[in-house]
Structure 1
Amino acid sequence: MSFSYLPRISQTPQQLIDPSGQPQFGLFEQSVPQLNFSQFDYRTVLDQPAGKLARFFAQKQFQFVTVSGDGWLLAVAIADIRYASSGFAYLYQADSAIFEKGLLLPLQFGCQMSVSPIAGVATLHAGKTRWSIEPATDSWQLQVDCGPLQANLLLHKQQQPPLALCAPTGYQGFTYTEKNNALPVTGQLSLAGKNFPLQQARAGYDFSAGFMRRQTNWRWASINTLLEAQPFGLNLAAGVNETGLCENALWLDGKIQHLSPAQFQFNRYNQESRWQIRTLCDELTLDFTPLFCRQEKVQAGLLASNFRQYVGHYQGEIRLRDGQVLQLKQCLGLAEDHYAKW
């Protein structure tokens, strides 16, 4: 059986914003090298040029890295939401205590973001706590200095194509997002002197930036693993890109397959309940069982956030375009439910 979901993939532009000041929308073959946001012709909802403050506070950016091994998962995030900078780092272990650390800082104090998914450095630090993400053309580097949690890791792209897209956001904005999963990782990862083996680990990254909605929400799923010795990655999202494009894809042995829109069903008020995830064209049918939840609820002036990121097990079937069926059994991964007013 074959599946007909074949979105058009556009040639990657050198710059995201065209000479007329408009974003270039679409799914792209590779990373967009230059995110020239300063050239975006940002307007109010009444078509007037937006002021400097409006431009500043409308632009948001976040970067995320996750690494998954046998019974453990590392997740690190950095976000610049203008009114504040935030991030977290945690290491889940199936048979041990979980280490987690969160930071929330005013404005952009202690925070810097990379200029694109292939250049610059993103950092978040307060006191002796610090983590950084450094993208490059062929890799992403993650460094964590967080008390007992120490990491110096390199995610190797190995010419695997990313999921890269730019889509309209709200009435006058846009979001560029890029994901890449199932990447091999080298380096060192330790917690309280315990070293974690990386030979069988797989990693993924997320780069998202743009002029986003003042209020937004999303559901998200992510897997980085080995299936019968083949690198397998999955990224699914719903609630962010609702304008004809979706950021759904799987990677198997270095090749990408784009997936149709996803539907997430779960009980938000019961954190132990099972999730069900389906796609419009029936490429996959997955269940997710939560094991751990990293959560934050923030109400602070102009900001509000209800964030839940779960570590858990996926199981179910994934049908490839050529008819091959992949079976997931107790596969460690992430699921997320997030509301933000920023």
Structure 2
Amino acid sequence: MNKLIDQHGEAQFGMFEQGVKHINYMDFNLRNAMGNSQGSFAKKLKFNQFQFISFTCEQLIVGIAIVDLKIASNCFVYVYHPSSGEFEEFSFTNLFAMSTYIDTKPNSGKAHFHKGANSVTISAGSGLRKVTVCLKAGLKIHAVIDESINYNPLAVCARAGFTGFHFTQKAAALPCSGTIEWRDNCINLEQVKALASVDWSAGFMRRETFWNWGSLACTLADGRRLGLNLAAGVVETGFTENALWLDGTLIKIDMVDFKFKRYADKHDSTKWQLRSNDGIIKLTFEPVGKRQDKTNLLIIASNFTQHFGRFYGQITLENEVITLNGEWGLTEDHYAKW
């Protein structure tokens, strides 16, 4: 589909097998809760965008995000080394989203964030998504994610609150190449068999929202690539963003319940239980480390915890049962006001 907003100013809701080329949000008939029309300035101010990319393998977990909330923008990058437990994170904020840009074309646009000597750029086109990170502290990433062969992203648009919409496009377990230079080491992504996952989201989202999320990208014993994207709490007004990918083939999953102790003490289990209504997903997630951030600027706020750890359990498909036995992945517990 070429454009998400139709000629009447309405968002088209549902799943889009061929994706959406342009999120033409300025054509949206945005109104407040009382039905009064909102002008161009309000549209630009209230339109939120973010991209998150991860690289996952047994040797390394990397997370990269650019978030544009117009009032402010944020960028973070973290690197975790599972065998040693080494972890390093970098986070930057620009008021009024200065030096921040995210295009409105999920598969052919560009996103960038700059602050001082720190820069993160994500660009997509011709079946490739390129990621470049250059930080003053010395971390450098030059990676290419291959979206040219058997690429089947999950593209969904759902209602958000009384007047808005939330569009998201996700794909997991994508082939990637390139290098990561970190702490005097140069890691070749192909050599360590890393896989990438991509989250591209935008819309007039709920003013106050939350979500739980789970992501996995691994290579099975038989060589197939397995990716998971599971979520609850944000895109659930008629549609969900739950899916798995097996060698690029998309399999839709019903609603997923996340059970975990948000405020666990030393006597509580920190394990997460993930179950889907259709019986496909029956997984346990054991956190090993986390990236956490609490920001309260009154107008906007975020209480964000992203865990990295191991998945165990079964994925029951029509013709087979896939057993996970400690594959690395991510979960997230996130409150946002924007």
**Do both proteins adopt the same fold according to a TM-score greater than 0.5, normalized to the shorter chain?**
yes
| Structure 1 equivalent of residue 162 of structure 2 | 171
AA of the residue aligned to 1:336:
E
Q: Which runs of 5+ in 1 are unaligned?
A: 1-12
Q: Greater shift after overlay, 282-291 or 47-56?
A: 47-56
CA contact (8 A) 1:66 1:76 kept: yes
Match of 1:214 in 2: 207
Report the Cα distance in structure 2 between the residues aligned to 1:101 and 1:27, rounded to whole angstroms.
35
Residue-by-residue CA offset, 1:130-155 (whole Å, 9 max, x unaligned) = 11111224121111101221111000
SS at match of 2:10: coil
CA distance in structure 2 between the partners assigned to 1:58 and 1:88 by the alignment: 22
Residues 59-113 of structure 1 deviation map (CA, whole Å, 9 limit, x = unaligned):
1000011001223101000000111100200011011521210011101112111
Aligned residues of 1:58 and 1:214 also touching (Cα < 8 A): no
Q: Is the 8 A contact 1:114 1:135 kept in 2?
A: no
Contact 2:292 2:304 in 1 (8 A): yes
- CA deviation string 1:183-235 (max 9, x = no partner): 01011112023122322111010000011011010000001110121111000
Match status 1:93 vs 2:81: yes
**SS at the partner of 1:184?**
strand
In structure 1, the partner of 2:15 is 27
Mapped contact 1:112–1:124 kept (Cα < 8 A): yes
Letter in 2 for 1:312: G
* Cα distance in 1 between the residues matched to 2:319 and 2:263: 37
Instruction: Count how many residue pairs are aligned between Structure 1 and Structure 2.
Output: 329
Matched, 1:239 2:233: yes
Equivalent pairs: percent with the same residue? 36
SS in 1 for 2:86: coil
Q: Is 2:44 the counterpart of 1:56? A: yes
Who is 1:336 aligned against? 332
Residue in structure 2 matched with residue 315 of structure 1 by the alignment: 312
- For 1:10, the equivalent position in structure 2 comes to none
Contact 2:215 2:329 in 1 (8 A): yes
User: How big is each residue's C-alpha offset from its partner over 1:13-62, in whole Å with a ceiling of 9 and x where there is no partner?
Assistant: 21111100101111111220111111111111111111334322221000
Aligned mates of 1:36, 1:53 — CA distance in 2: 15
User: Is 1:257 equivalent to 2:251 in the alignment?
Assistant: yes
Query: Which residue of structure 1 lines up, in the alignment, with residue 65 of structure 2?
Result: 77
How far apart, CA to CA, are the structure 1 residues paired with 2:279 and 2:126? Answer: 34
Point out where structure 2 has 5 or more consecutive residues left out of the alignment: none
Contact 1:80 1:86 in 2 (8 A): yes
Contact 2:177 2:188 survives alignment (8 Å) = no
Deviation string 1:257-293 (CA, Å, 9 cap, x unpaired) is 0000000000011287110000011101011111111
Give the match for residue 144 of structure 2: 154
Q: Which of 267, 280, 286 in structure 1 is aligned with 2:277?
A: 280
My pick for the range that moved more, 271-280 or 54-63, is 271-280
Report the Cα distance in structure 2 between the residues aligned to 1:210 and 1:100, rounded to whole angstroms.
27
Contact conserved, 2:23 with 2:104, CA < 8 A, in 1?
yes
> Which of 101, 114, 120 is matched with 1:125 structurally?
114
Pick from 53, 56, 61: which aligns with 1:68? 56
1:327 to 323, 330, 333: 323
Instruction: Give the SS at the match of 1:98.
Output: strand
TM-score (norm. length: structure 2) = 0.95
Paired residue for 1:7? none
The 1-side partners of 2:204 and 2:141 are apart by 32
| Cα distance in 2 between the residues matched to 1:57 and 1:337 | 26
CA distance in 2, matches of 1:106, 1:192: 30
Give the root-mean-square deviation of aligned CA atoms. 1.3
- One-letter amino acid matched to 1:16: L
More displaced 10-residue stretch of structure 1: 157-166 or 201-210: 157-166
Cα drift, residue 254 of structure 1? 1.8
Distance 2:263 2:81 in 1: 24
Q: For residue 254 of structure 1, what is the amino acid of its counterpart?
A: G
1:153–1:186 CA contact under 8 A, matched in 2:
yes
Hey, what's the Cα distance between the residues in 2 that align with 1:240 and 1:46? 23
Q: State the secondary structure of the residue aligned to 1:196.
A: strand
Higher RCO (C-alpha 8 Å, min separation 6): 1
Letter in 2 for 1:181: A
Q: Does the residue aligned with 1:70 lie in a helix, a strand or coil? A: coil
Structure 1 counterpart of 2:142, one-letter code: N
TM-score w.r.t. the length of structure 1 is 0.93
- Runs in 1 of length 4+ with deviation above 4 angstroms? none
For 2:187, the equivalent position in structure 1 comes to 196
Query: 3-state SS of the aligned residue for 1:82?
Result: coil
